[in-house]
Amino acid sequence: ETKPRVPIIWMHGLECTCCTESFIRSAHPLAKDVVLSMISLDYNDTIMAAAGHQAEAILQETRQMYKGRYILAVEGNPPLNEDGMYCIDGGRPFVERLTEMASDAMAVVAWGTCASWGCVQAAKPNPTHAVPIDKVIRNKPIVKVPGCPPIAEVMTGVITYVTMFGRLPDLDRQGRPKMFYSQRIHDKCYRRPHFDAGQFVEEWDDDGARKGFCLYKMGCKGPTTYNACSTTRWNGGVSFPIQSGHGCIGCSEDAFWDKGSFYDRL
């Protein structure tokens, strides 16, 4: 309660905004408690009241005032083709502003699969040459929080950890927090007993589907996907894709768009 709140600058490149949408739905802790009590969210161009020159001024002010002490959170990624012209932010190529803001940050958080791996805009043939942010930010620690979008409580969990302990959480070899990404969806899936028993859904409306059998033969990517969906679940722990009757499409994995995740059945 006596520590100053950590300043966070949250930038958006090529993206769909659903990472921010996910974040504001966090139930544990509530997003409002994170924003109002734990961090100082000084810039987020999607949800801030300021716009235009006023927002620009806040961005530069925060950068100068908290040099080396703010966290740069990035949603989306920079396109490099045509000198970055496919994403203009504040009148300049996003890639320029991204590397500029990263140079004075304490650490960087890559929100979602866009910032972590590239996601849909980097899928073949990737006309804008969109790249994950670690291809252009080389000299700062980066925490990757993949998912399209990431689970709200995973996002606020990462922020809670950083603000509580004053350091980044332990990361795996790919830069993801181990506490949320060390297990596959398949490892804790409630349909796993059906997988082990060889009971599979063969068609979307067959008897196995009605009985809640395993979705592996319908293309479920749970066995190769690292994320917390089968434990943390979504919407405050209510459900997750597999519980809704659809297999995991591997949305937190690198290049999931190019790996046949959508309806590529066995």
The rounded distance, in Å, linking the Cα atoms of 119 and 124 is 10
Q: Which is nearer to ligand SF4, 154 or 220 (CB)?
A: 220
Q: Is 132 in the site for ligand SF4 (CB under 6 A)?
A: no
Give the chain's end-to-end CA distance (angstroms, integer). 53
- Annotated binding residue 251: yes
The encoded tokens of residue 260 equal 């046949």
Stretch that binds ligand F3S, among 7-15, 118-126, 198-206, 242-250 (CB under 6 A): 242-250
- Annotated binding residue 18: no
Query: Interface residues for ligand SF4 in 39-98 (CB under 6 A)?
Result: 75-76
CA angle 9, 17, 134 (to 5 degrees): 55
Choose the one of ligand SF4, ligand F3S, none that binds residue 132, judging by a C-beta under 5 to 8 angstroms depending on kind: none
Buried b / exposed e over 207-220, threshold 16 CB at 10 Å, is ebbeeebbbbbbbb
Q: Is 240 in the site for ligand F3S (CB under 6 A)?
A: yes
- Annotated binding residue 19: yes
Query: Which residues, listed in sequence order, are joined to residue 73 by a DSSP beta bridge?
Result: 10, 109
Query: Interface residues for ligand F3S in 190-229 (CB under 6 A)?
Result: 225, 227, 229
Q: How far is the CB of 247 from ligand F3S (least distance, A)?
A: 8
Q: Is 215 in the site for ligand SF4 (CB under 6 A)?
A: yes
- Of 138, 103, 102, the C-alpha closest to 13 is 102
The rounded distance, in Å, linking the Cα atoms of 99 and 89 is 13
Q: Which is nearer to ligand SF4, 61 or 204 (CB)?
A: 204
Q: How far is the CB of 44 from ligand SF4 (least distance, A)?
A: 13
